[in-house]
A and B are shown apart, each in its own frame.
Chain A
Protein backbone atom coordinates (compact mmCIF):
# COMPACT_ATOMS: atom_id res chain seq x y z
CA UNK A 1 0.00 0.00 0.00
CA UNK A 2 1.36 3.37 -1.03
CA UNK A 3 -0.55 5.38 1.54
CA UNK A 4 -1.78 4.64 5.06
CA UNK A 5 -5.15 6.01 4.00
CA UNK A 6 -5.45 2.96 1.72
CA UNK A 7 -4.76 0.64 4.66
CA UNK A 8 -7.51 2.46 6.57
CA UNK A 9 -9.92 1.93 3.68
CA UNK A 10 -9.01 -1.75 3.65
CA UNK A 11 -9.17 -2.38 7.41
CA UNK A 12 -12.51 -0.58 7.70
CA UNK A 13 -13.98 -3.09 5.24
CA UNK A 14 -13.40 -5.77 7.88
CA UNK A 15 -15.61 -3.79 10.25
CA UNK A 16 -18.28 -3.58 7.56
CA UNK A 17 -18.09 -7.34 7.09
CA UNK A 18 -18.36 -7.84 10.85
CA UNK A 19 -21.84 -6.35 10.61
CA UNK A 20 -21.02 -3.11 12.42
CA UNK A 21 -23.49 -0.28 12.21
CA UNK A 22 -21.14 2.23 13.78
CA UNK A 23 -17.51 2.65 12.82
CA UNK A 24 -15.09 5.20 14.23
CA UNK A 25 -12.00 6.17 12.28
CA UNK A 26 -9.82 8.16 14.65
CA UNK A 27 -6.45 9.70 13.92
CA UNK A 28 -4.28 11.54 16.35
CA UNK A 29 -0.95 13.03 15.46
CA UNK A 30 1.73 15.34 16.70
CA UNK A 31 5.19 16.19 15.44
CA UNK A 32 6.48 12.75 16.27
CA UNK A 33 3.72 10.15 16.17
CA UNK A 34 0.56 9.21 14.34
CA UNK A 35 -1.98 6.90 15.95
CA UNK A 36 -4.67 5.41 13.75
CA UNK A 37 -7.55 3.58 15.32
CA UNK A 38 -10.51 1.90 13.69
CA UNK A 39 -13.22 0.84 16.11
CA UNK A 40 -16.46 -0.94 15.31
CA UNK A 41 -19.43 -2.44 17.10
CA UNK A 42 -19.52 -5.54 14.90
CA UNK A 43 -19.59 -9.20 15.83
CA UNK A 44 -16.06 -9.26 17.27
CA UNK A 45 -13.47 -12.01 16.98
CA UNK A 46 -13.08 -15.09 19.16
CA UNK A 47 -9.88 -15.41 21.20
CA UNK A 48 -8.84 -18.19 18.87
CA UNK A 49 -9.29 -16.05 15.76
CA UNK A 50 -7.71 -13.05 17.44
CA UNK A 51 -4.58 -15.09 18.13
CA UNK A 52 -4.16 -15.88 14.46
CA UNK A 53 -5.53 -12.79 12.83
CA UNK A 54 -2.15 -11.14 12.29
CA UNK A 55 -1.04 -14.17 10.32
CA UNK A 56 -1.48 -13.81 6.54
CA UNK A 57 -2.80 -17.35 6.35
CA UNK A 58 -5.75 -16.49 8.50
CA UNK A 59 -8.66 -14.98 6.62
CA UNK A 60 -12.42 -14.86 6.30
CA UNK A 61 -12.02 -14.72 2.54
CA UNK A 62 -13.72 -17.38 0.54
CA UNK A 63 -11.88 -16.67 -2.69
CA UNK A 64 -8.35 -17.20 -1.31
CA UNK A 65 -6.66 -18.74 1.67
CA UNK A 66 -4.64 -15.64 2.49
CA UNK A 67 -5.65 -12.30 3.97
CA UNK A 68 -3.10 -9.51 3.80
CA UNK A 69 -5.08 -6.60 5.22
CA UNK A 70 -3.98 -6.72 8.84
CA UNK A 71 -0.46 -8.05 8.14
CA UNK A 72 0.20 -5.15 5.74
CA UNK A 73 -1.08 -2.57 8.21
CA UNK A 74 0.99 -4.14 11.00
CA UNK A 75 4.09 -4.12 8.80
CA UNK A 76 3.58 -0.45 7.95
CA UNK A 77 3.49 0.35 11.68
CA UNK A 78 6.34 -1.91 12.76
CA UNK A 79 8.71 -0.70 10.08
CA UNK A 80 8.61 2.73 11.79
CA UNK A 81 9.36 1.06 15.18
CA UNK A 82 5.68 1.41 16.02
CA UNK A 83 3.16 -1.32 16.70
CA UNK A 84 -0.34 -2.62 16.09
CA UNK A 85 -2.77 -3.85 18.71
CA UNK A 86 -6.18 -5.42 18.40
CA UNK A 87 -8.83 -5.82 21.05
CA UNK A 88 -12.07 -7.57 20.40
CA UNK A 89 -15.25 -8.62 22.17
CA UNK A 90 -17.53 -11.22 20.63
CA UNK A 91 -21.26 -10.88 20.32
CA UNK A 92 -21.72 -14.22 22.11
CA UNK A 93 -20.01 -13.05 25.27
CA UNK A 94 -20.61 -9.31 25.25
CA UNK A 95 -23.83 -8.98 23.21
CA UNK A 96 -24.48 -5.24 22.81
CA UNK A 97 -20.94 -4.25 23.71
CA UNK A 98 -19.28 -6.40 21.09
CA UNK A 99 -16.82 -5.01 18.58
CA UNK A 100 -13.24 -4.76 17.47
CA UNK A 101 -10.70 -1.98 17.78
CA UNK A 102 -7.49 -1.93 15.79
CA UNK A 103 -4.92 0.64 16.82
CA UNK A 104 -1.66 1.31 15.04
CA UNK A 105 1.15 3.57 16.20
CA UNK A 106 3.54 5.12 13.70
CA UNK A 107 6.71 7.12 14.19
CA UNK A 108 6.45 9.80 11.54
CA UNK A 109 10.08 10.75 11.36
CA UNK A 110 11.25 7.23 10.73
CA UNK A 111 12.65 6.76 7.25
CA UNK A 112 10.23 3.92 6.56
CA UNK A 113 7.12 5.88 7.51
CA UNK A 114 4.43 5.62 4.83
CA UNK A 115 2.58 8.87 4.15
CA UNK A 116 -1.05 9.15 5.24
CA UNK A 117 -2.02 10.27 1.76
CA UNK A 118 -5.52 11.09 0.59
CA UNK A 119 -7.53 10.44 3.75
CA UNK A 120 -10.44 12.53 2.49
CA UNK A 121 -10.82 10.20 -0.45
CA UNK A 122 -10.82 7.20 1.87
CA UNK A 123 -13.53 8.62 4.14
CA UNK A 124 -15.68 9.62 1.19
CA UNK A 125 -15.25 6.17 -0.38
CA UNK A 126 -16.28 4.47 2.87
CA UNK A 127 -19.40 6.60 3.23
CA UNK A 128 -20.32 6.13 -0.44
CA UNK A 129 -19.95 2.37 -0.16
CA UNK A 130 -21.83 1.95 3.11
CA UNK A 131 -24.17 4.91 3.50
CA UNK A 132 -26.28 3.15 6.12
CA UNK A 133 -23.43 2.78 8.59
CA UNK A 134 -22.88 5.50 11.17
CA UNK A 135 -19.38 6.77 10.36
CA UNK A 136 -17.50 8.94 12.77
CA UNK A 137 -14.23 10.35 11.54
CA UNK A 138 -11.98 12.51 13.65
CA UNK A 139 -8.42 13.60 12.99
CA UNK A 140 -6.56 15.47 15.69
CA UNK A 141 -3.45 17.27 14.55
CA UNK A 142 -1.65 18.84 17.49
CA UNK A 143 -4.31 21.21 18.81
CA UNK A 144 -6.47 21.22 15.70
CA UNK A 145 -9.25 18.90 14.70
CA UNK A 146 -10.91 17.78 11.48
CA UNK A 147 -13.88 15.47 11.26
CA UNK A 148 -17.32 14.43 10.19
CA UNK A 149 -20.12 12.45 11.79
CA UNK A 150 -22.66 10.98 9.40
CA UNK A 151 -25.43 10.93 12.02
CA UNK A 152 -25.22 14.68 12.19
CA UNK A 153 -25.50 14.90 8.41
CA UNK A 154 -28.40 12.45 8.36
CA UNK A 155 -30.39 14.55 10.79
CA UNK A 156 -30.23 17.39 8.26
CA UNK A 157 -30.66 15.23 5.17
CA UNK A 158 -33.73 13.27 6.22
CA UNK A 159 -34.58 10.78 3.50
CA UNK A 160 -31.83 11.84 1.14
CA UNK A 161 -29.22 9.05 1.20
CA UNK A 162 -25.61 9.78 2.05
CA UNK A 163 -24.46 8.28 -1.24
CA UNK A 164 -26.36 10.89 -3.20
CA UNK A 165 -23.76 12.45 -5.48
CA UNK A 166 -24.25 16.02 -4.30
CA UNK A 167 -24.01 14.89 -0.70
CA UNK A 168 -20.81 12.96 -1.42
CA UNK A 169 -19.32 16.05 -3.07
CA UNK A 170 -20.37 18.16 -0.13
CA UNK A 171 -18.68 15.81 2.36
CA UNK A 172 -15.49 15.84 0.30
CA UNK A 173 -15.37 19.62 0.14
CA UNK A 174 -16.38 19.90 3.78
CA UNK A 175 -13.36 17.84 4.87
CA UNK A 176 -10.96 19.45 2.40
CA UNK A 177 -11.97 22.86 3.66
CA UNK A 178 -11.29 21.88 7.25
CA UNK A 179 -7.83 20.62 6.32
CA UNK A 180 -7.07 23.77 4.34
CA UNK A 181 -8.15 25.92 7.22
CA UNK A 182 -5.56 24.45 9.54
CA UNK A 183 -2.93 24.36 6.80
CA UNK A 184 -2.58 20.58 6.78
CA UNK A 185 -1.35 18.99 3.61
Chain B
Protein backbone atom coordinates (compact mmCIF):
# COMPACT_ATOMS: atom_id res chain seq x y z
CA UNK B 1 0.00 0.00 0.00
CA UNK B 2 1.15 3.51 -0.84
CA UNK B 3 1.46 5.54 2.33
CA UNK B 4 2.17 9.11 3.29
CA UNK B 5 5.26 7.78 5.04
CA UNK B 6 6.79 7.25 1.62
CA UNK B 7 6.26 10.92 0.85
CA UNK B 8 7.98 11.81 4.08
CA UNK B 9 10.88 9.65 2.94
CA UNK B 10 11.04 11.55 -0.36
CA UNK B 11 11.13 14.80 1.59
CA UNK B 12 13.94 13.50 3.75
CA UNK B 13 15.91 12.48 0.72
CA UNK B 14 15.40 15.81 -1.04
CA UNK B 15 16.57 17.76 1.95
CA UNK B 16 20.00 16.27 1.55
CA UNK B 17 20.15 17.55 -1.99
CA UNK B 18 20.73 21.08 -3.02
CA UNK B 19 17.61 21.88 -4.98
CA UNK B 20 18.07 24.46 -7.67
CA UNK B 21 14.78 25.28 -9.31
CA UNK B 22 12.48 27.93 -10.70
CA UNK B 23 13.76 29.23 -13.97
CA UNK B 24 17.28 28.12 -13.30
CA UNK B 25 17.03 25.14 -15.64
CA UNK B 26 19.19 25.46 -18.72
CA UNK B 27 16.57 24.02 -21.02
CA UNK B 28 12.82 24.51 -20.93
CA UNK B 29 10.52 22.07 -22.72
CA UNK B 30 7.03 23.50 -23.25
CA UNK B 31 4.10 21.32 -24.32
CA UNK B 32 0.96 22.93 -25.77
CA UNK B 33 -1.97 21.78 -23.63
CA UNK B 34 -4.99 23.71 -24.92
CA UNK B 35 -8.05 21.99 -26.41
CA UNK B 36 -6.27 21.55 -29.74
CA UNK B 37 -3.17 19.99 -28.21
CA UNK B 38 -5.05 17.72 -25.83
CA UNK B 39 -7.36 16.46 -28.59
CA UNK B 40 -4.34 15.72 -30.78
CA UNK B 41 -2.57 13.68 -28.10
CA UNK B 42 -0.53 16.09 -25.98
CA UNK B 43 -1.13 14.29 -22.69
CA UNK B 44 0.99 11.21 -23.49
CA UNK B 45 3.62 13.49 -25.04
CA UNK B 46 3.90 15.52 -21.86
CA UNK B 47 4.05 12.40 -19.70
CA UNK B 48 6.73 10.91 -21.94
CA UNK B 49 8.85 14.04 -21.42
CA UNK B 50 8.33 14.06 -17.65
CA UNK B 51 9.31 10.40 -17.40
CA UNK B 52 12.02 10.43 -20.05
CA UNK B 53 13.83 13.50 -18.76
CA UNK B 54 14.08 11.92 -15.34
CA UNK B 55 15.13 8.53 -16.62
CA UNK B 56 17.87 10.20 -18.67
CA UNK B 57 19.10 11.94 -15.51
CA UNK B 58 18.38 15.39 -16.93
CA UNK B 59 16.01 16.59 -14.22
CA UNK B 60 18.40 19.26 -12.95
CA UNK B 61 19.02 20.61 -16.41
CA UNK B 62 15.62 20.39 -18.09
CA UNK B 63 12.28 21.77 -16.91
CA UNK B 64 9.13 20.33 -18.49
CA UNK B 65 6.20 22.74 -18.46
CA UNK B 66 2.76 23.21 -20.01
CA UNK B 67 1.24 26.08 -21.93
CA UNK B 68 -1.96 27.02 -23.76
CA UNK B 69 -2.53 27.29 -27.48
CA UNK B 70 0.62 28.09 -29.41
CA UNK B 71 -1.40 29.21 -32.44
CA UNK B 72 -0.74 26.56 -35.06
CA UNK B 73 -3.29 23.97 -34.06
CA UNK B 74 -2.89 21.95 -37.26
CA UNK B 75 0.61 20.95 -36.08
CA UNK B 76 -0.42 19.73 -32.63
CA UNK B 77 0.86 18.10 -30.49
CA UNK B 78 3.49 20.85 -30.47
CA UNK B 79 6.56 21.01 -28.26
CA UNK B 80 8.85 24.02 -27.95
CA UNK B 81 12.38 23.75 -26.63
CA UNK B 82 13.97 26.90 -25.24
CA UNK B 83 17.63 27.07 -24.44
CA UNK B 84 19.54 30.17 -23.33
CA UNK B 85 21.56 31.65 -26.17
CA UNK B 86 20.01 29.40 -28.81
CA UNK B 87 17.09 29.69 -31.20
CA UNK B 88 13.82 28.14 -30.06
CA UNK B 89 13.13 24.76 -31.66
CA UNK B 90 9.49 23.87 -32.40
CA UNK B 91 8.54 20.24 -32.87
CA UNK B 92 5.27 19.33 -34.58
CA UNK B 93 3.02 16.25 -34.64
CA UNK B 94 4.79 14.77 -31.64
CA UNK B 95 4.12 11.41 -30.05
CA UNK B 96 5.68 9.43 -27.22
CA UNK B 97 8.07 7.60 -29.56
CA UNK B 98 9.41 10.83 -31.07
CA UNK B 99 9.86 12.22 -27.57
CA UNK B 100 12.44 9.51 -26.82
CA UNK B 101 14.57 10.66 -29.74
CA UNK B 102 14.27 14.34 -28.85
CA UNK B 103 15.40 13.60 -25.29
CA UNK B 104 18.35 11.52 -26.44
CA UNK B 105 19.58 13.61 -29.37
CA UNK B 106 18.49 17.15 -28.50
CA UNK B 107 18.21 17.45 -24.72
CA UNK B 108 21.07 15.11 -23.95
CA UNK B 109 23.44 15.57 -26.88
CA UNK B 110 22.51 19.10 -27.92
CA UNK B 111 21.55 18.31 -31.49
CA UNK B 112 17.95 19.17 -32.45
CA UNK B 113 16.05 16.51 -34.40
CA UNK B 114 15.60 18.42 -37.66
CA UNK B 115 13.21 15.83 -39.03
CA UNK B 116 10.50 16.67 -36.47
CA UNK B 117 11.09 20.40 -36.31
CA UNK B 118 9.17 23.13 -38.08
CA UNK B 119 10.59 26.55 -38.83
CA UNK B 120 9.19 30.06 -38.88
CA UNK B 121 6.55 29.62 -36.21
Interface residues, chain A, CB within 8 Å of chain B?
1, 6, 9-10, 13, 17, 61, 63-64, 67-69, 72, 118, 121-122, 124-125, 128-129, 152-153, 156-161, 164-168, 170, 173-174, 177
Tell me which of A6, A156, A160 contacts B4 (CB under 8 A).
A156
Q: Does B65 contact A (CB under 8 A)?
A: yes
Tell me which of B11, B34, B35, B50 contacts A128 (CB under 8 A).
B50
Chain A to chain B: the 7 pairs with minimum beta-carbon distance, closest first: A63-B71, A129-B66, A174-B2, A165-B54, A156-B7, A69-B35, A63-B69
A128-B64, A157-B10, A165-B54 given; name 14 further pairs at CB < 8 Å: A10-B35, A10-B38, A63-B70, A72-B35, A118-B43, A124-B47, A128-B50, A129-B46, A156-B7, A157-B11, A159-B19, A160-B10, A160-B11, A166-B10
Give the residues in chain B near A152, CB-CB below 8 Å.
4
Tell me which of A9, A63, A153 contacts B7 (CB under 8 A).
A153
Distance A160 CA – B10 CA, assembled complex (angstroms):
8
**Cβ contact within 8 Å between B43 and A61:** no
Name the residue on A nearest B10 (C-beta): A166
Give the residues in chain B near A129, CB-CB below 8 Å.
33, 46, 65-66
Distance A16 CA – B102 CA, assembled complex (angstroms):
29
Q: How far is the CB of A7 from chain B (nearest CB, A)?
A: 8
**Cβ contact within 8 Å between A64 and B73:** yes
**Cβ contact within 8 Å between B46 and A125:** yes
Q: How far is the CB of B49 from chain A (nearest CB, A)?
A: 10
Q: Does B20 contact A (CB under 8 A)?
A: no
Q: Does B39 contact A (CB under 8 A)?
A: yes
Tell me which of B13, B19, B33, B69 contacts A61 (CB under 8 A).
B69
Give B67-80 as 1s and 0s: 1 = Cβ < 8 Å from A's Cβ atoms.
01111010000000
Interface residue count on the B side (C-beta < 8 Å):
34
Q: Does B21 contact A (CB under 8 A)?
A: yes
Tell me which of B4, B10, B43 contacts A9 (CB under 8 A).
B43
Report 21 cross-chain contacts, Cβ distance below 8 Å, ordered by A residue. A10-B34, A10-B38, A10-B39, A61-B34, A64-B71, A64-B73, A68-B35, A69-B35, A128-B46, A128-B66, A129-B66, A153-B4, A156-B8, A159-B14, A160-B10, A160-B14, A161-B21, A164-B10, A164-B14, A166-B13, A170-B2
Q: How far is the CB of A114 from chain B (nearest CB, A)?
A: 12
Distance A168 CA – B64 CA, assembled complex (angstroms):
13
Distance A64 CA – B69 CA, assembled complex (angstroms):
9
Interface members, chain B 35-90 (any A CB < 8 Å): 35-36, 38-39, 43-44, 46-47, 50, 54, 59, 64-66, 68-71, 73
Q: How far is the CB of B98 from chain A (nearest CB, A)?
A: 18
**Cβ contact within 8 Å between A177 and B1:** yes
